Amino acid sequence: MKNGVILYDDRGEVLHAHGGYMLYENGYFYWFGENRTGDIRVSCYRSKDLEHWEFRNHVLTCDSKVQEHYIRSDTRLRKEVTLKDGSKKMGSCNIERPKVLYNSKTKQYVMWMHYENGVHYGDARCAVAVSDKIDGDYTYYGSFNPIGNMSRDCTVFKEEDGTAYFISAARENADLIIYRLTEDYLAIDEQVRILWPGQAREAPVLFKRNDRYYMLSSACTGWLPNQGKYAISDSLTGRWSTLKPFGDKTTYDSQPAFILPLETAGGVEWIYVGDRWNGENYPASTYVFFPLHFNEIGELTLENCEEMDWKKYLI
Ligand code: DGJ
């Protein structure tokens, strides 16, 4: 599979799963991501071999079912926005970086995402949607500012014991905040850490390898790529290393979306999945898949490659 090219699903349609995330279930990789076609917002595809993608559903649209929830959230997917000059404009929500967690206690799939009003980036909220089926129609529970904070680029992370976290850029993207979620994953339980205050990191991606946490992120340059950096910690809420660069000064023309762990015959292999954005023509944005390598002290490097041979990885 080539990096940086438009991908097509089994219907021959352009695959839109930008700023995405994958879950593995019953032999399938499910890929969720942004789709800004018409009123569609989040689409879901699945694959057994990571190369052929079957379209499953537009899991969130501007017409998705909404449900009031105990979070004091705004359930409008379309709303009128007042501009600085006092004029009003009708906006259809802009949903970015949707991530889905499975809650084994409630047996629900819970999507966390970045919400904007579709007119400007001033709302800076997170939003939650829920489904009983991985690729079902998600019910929108609304958007809100976590603990009153701004919330833009985001990701999620689930511990082996089921404790889940939501991580998002706050204070005009100056800080990256880690929140622990409630047991049902539907709300913020507690803000547990502010990372790199004032250093303006976005596109966060978090994973755990050999009992250590790795956070990958980029700087804030809109749709333009920049030097990716990463940090390591023994504890999510404890001390983190300083940020170290990985990849080249545009991290091979991409921004982190998520890390895909692959169980292979030789152990777990880690794949960096990034967005190669096209800021002028968003639907023409593409994806990159690069293997991550670790040295004996756990430092990581990214292998720049033109294509992925998934057969090398899949058992
Ligand atoms: C960079 C972010 O990582 C993207 O998700 C998107 O919000 C763009 N900025 C918008 O400029």
pLDDT band of residue 33 (cuts 50, 70, 90) is very high
Q: What average pLDDT score do residues 119-144 get?
A: 98
Burial of 272 per CB tally in 10 Å (0-12, 13-18, 19+): buried
Q: Return the structure tokens found at 149.
A: 């904070």
Strand partners, 206: 215
DSSP string, 69-105: -SS--B--SEEEEE-TTS-EEEEE-EEEEEEEEEETT
Which of 21, 229, 255 gets mutated to test ligand 1 (max ligand atoms within 8 A of its CB)? 255
Q: What average pLDDT score do residues 242-254 get?
A: 98
Query: Distance (Å, rounded) from C-alpha 56 to C-alpha 15?
Result: 11
Residue 184: predicted pLDDT: 97
Residue 34 near residue 96 (C-beta atoms within 8 A): yes
User: Which residues have a Cβ under 8 Å from the Cβ of 161 and sit 6 or more positions away?
Assistant: none
Q: Report the helix count and the strand count for the chain, using DSSP H and E.
A: 0, 22
Q: Which of 143, 203, 196 is nearest to 171 (CA)?
A: 196
Residue 142 near residue 75 (C-beta atoms within 8 A): yes
What percent of the chain stands above pLDDT 70? 100
Q: Read off the pLDDT of residues 6-15 as tens digits, 9 standing for 90 and up.
A: 999 999 999 9
Residue 273: predicted pLDDT: 98
> How far does the centroid of ligand 1 lie from the alpha carbon of residue 153, in Å?
7
Residue 314: predicted pLDDT: 86
The torsion region of residue 227 among left (phi > 0), alpha (psi -120 to 50) and beta comes to beta
Q: Read off the pLDDT of residues 68-80 as tens digits, 9 standing for 90 and up.
A: 887 779 999 999 9
Angle of CA points 78, 279, 120, to nearest 5° = 30
What percent of the chain stands above pLDDT 90? 97
For the chain, the straight-line distance linking the first and the last C-alpha, in angstroms and rounded, comes to 17
pLDDT band of residue 315 (cuts 50, 70, 90) is confident
Q: Read off the pLDDT of residues 212-227 as tens digits, 9 standing for 90 and up.
A: 999 999 999 999 999 9
Name the residue with the closest Cα to ligand 1, atom 10: 222
Query: Distance (Å, rounded) from C-alpha 67 to C-alpha 302?
Result: 42
Q: What average pLDDT score do residues 268-274 get?
A: 97
Residue 144: predicted pLDDT: 96
Q: Is the pLDDT of residue 272 over 90?
A: yes
Q: Return the structure tokens found at 167.
A: 């991580």
Residue 120 near residue 148 (C-beta atoms within 8 A): no
Q: For 119, which DSSP code?
A: S
Residue 218: predicted pLDDT: 98
Q: What average pLDDT score do residues 59-69 get?
A: 96
Q: Read off the pLDDT of residues 166-217 as tens digits, 9 standing for 90 and up.
A: 999 999 999 999 999 999 999 999 999 999 999 999 999 999 999 999 999 9
Name the residue with the closest Cα to ligand 1, atom 3: 203
> How far does the centroid of ligand 1 lie from the alpha carbon of residue 152, in Å?
9
